[in-house]
Structure 1
């Protein structure tokens, strides 16, 4: 993709043919932008409005283990960009 901007997200439109190829391209694009995890897991309930104290404690635990997840996400982004 010579000459393409790194900041913009250009997703190929699925035309009903070659689903396997299209899905691989979409996955690679989302990984390169660091958003593939959202496709797989979505946004957790800890981000929803009205989260109680136990949800806050759970979020705190998730954030403490988030460093490892970020390292993996960065590796996946670099791999997909390559």
Structure 2
């Protein structure tokens, strides 16, 4: 079928009727995209400010901050995708 969306699922618009069916479909769509946790929990923003410590602690913190930035960026992207589906 030409022009079909491939694997992309479209969220149904709630028209005020059949809420139970609509909510099950929405939950299924979000779960299939791996986004359901963002619907339930949102994006958690942690405070990266801490007390000044030893140089070794600062080095460990800098090394782990790159991983935190990547996972935070991924979380923001998934959150945006969930909002886009809505």
Task: Decide whether aligned partners of structure 1 residues 52 and 9 sit closer, same or farther in structure 2, where only a CA change above 3 A counts.
Answer: farther
If the length of structure 2 is used for normalisation, what is the TM-score? 0.49
Partner of 2:35: 35
The answer as to 2:48 corresponding to 1:51 is yes
Q: CA RMSD in A?
A: 2.6
Gaps of 5+ in 1: 64-82
Partner of 2:6: 5
If the length of structure 1 is used for normalisation, what is the TM-score? 0.51
1:58-73 aligned at under 5 Å gives the runs none
1:13-28 aligned at under 5 Å gives the runs 13-28=13-28
Between Structure 1 and Structure 2, whose CA radius of gyration is higher?
A: 2
1:4 shift after superposition: 5.3
| Runs of at least 4 residues off by over 3 Å | none
Give the Cα–Cα distance (whole angstroms) in 1 for the partners of residues 34 and 50 of structure 2: 29
